[in-house]
Amino acid sequence: MRKLILASASARRREILSHIGLEYTAINADVDEVNGLPDTPDGTVETLSERKARAIVDKCGSGNIVIGSDTIVYKDGKILTKPTDADEAKRMLCELSGSVHQVYSGLCVTDGSKTVRTHAVTSVKMRVISQREIDAYVATGEPLDKAGAYGIQDLGGIFVEKIDGDYYNVVGLPLEKLCTVLADEFGCNVLEQIKK
């Protein structure tokens, strides 16, 4: 089997792949995440995912299967990325409190000669979060490196009332979509590749 490379420094994406027992190498893809992006949430995450994947192909060469991914939170026509500081995290959480938002994760899988771009969307309903809870949560530091200022897989999960879609997409990597693309487009069946 060709080597799988995750183009990401994200601990959450690494945990998802490790959790299912997949053998892979993770390499941070340092790319421009600000300039030249489409105006749409799906276009944004697909473009960033492809930038990450292509950066690793350029660095390591063709032949390996490289996985790039990027995640954003989208609410009322606005993209929420990672907060720049605690005050911005608090503002984001106030905005998400008691409402529904969408989490978009882009996915790009490439071996250098073939490239597949796609994305997944999950709707998330947050319960009403008090200002006291927001302050206490932000004080933990957890929201500062997460799109939308919360992590569903950690303490932020206590605010999530329900989701409609792929849970792993909210964590940061649309697992079902990834496994389907690997099998259908690259002949890599994840169930046959897991560590025994």
Share of the chain above pLDDT 90, in %: 77
Q: List the domain boundaries for the chain.
A: 4-193
- Catalytic residue numbers read 70
Q: Give the CA distances from residue 161 to residues 3, 127, 136, 157, 184, in Å, rounded to whole numbers and listed in that order.
A: 39, 6, 19, 9, 34
pLDDT 10s digits, 61-118: 888 999 999 999 999 999 998 899 999 999 999 999 999 999 999 999 999 999 999 9
Confidence band, pLDDT 50/70/90 cuts, at residue 136? very high
Measured between alpha carbons, how far is 35 from 124 in angstroms, rounded to an integer?
28
Whole-structure pTM over 0.85, yes or no? yes
pLDDT of residue 195 exceeding 70: no
pLDDT value for 196: 57
The matching CATH number, chosen from 1.20.140.10, 3.90.950.10, 2.40.160.40, 3.10.20.600, for 4-193 is: 3.90.950.10
The distance between the two most distant Cα atoms of the chain, rounded to a whole number of Å, is: 52
Pairing between strand 100-110 and 65-75?
A: antiparallel
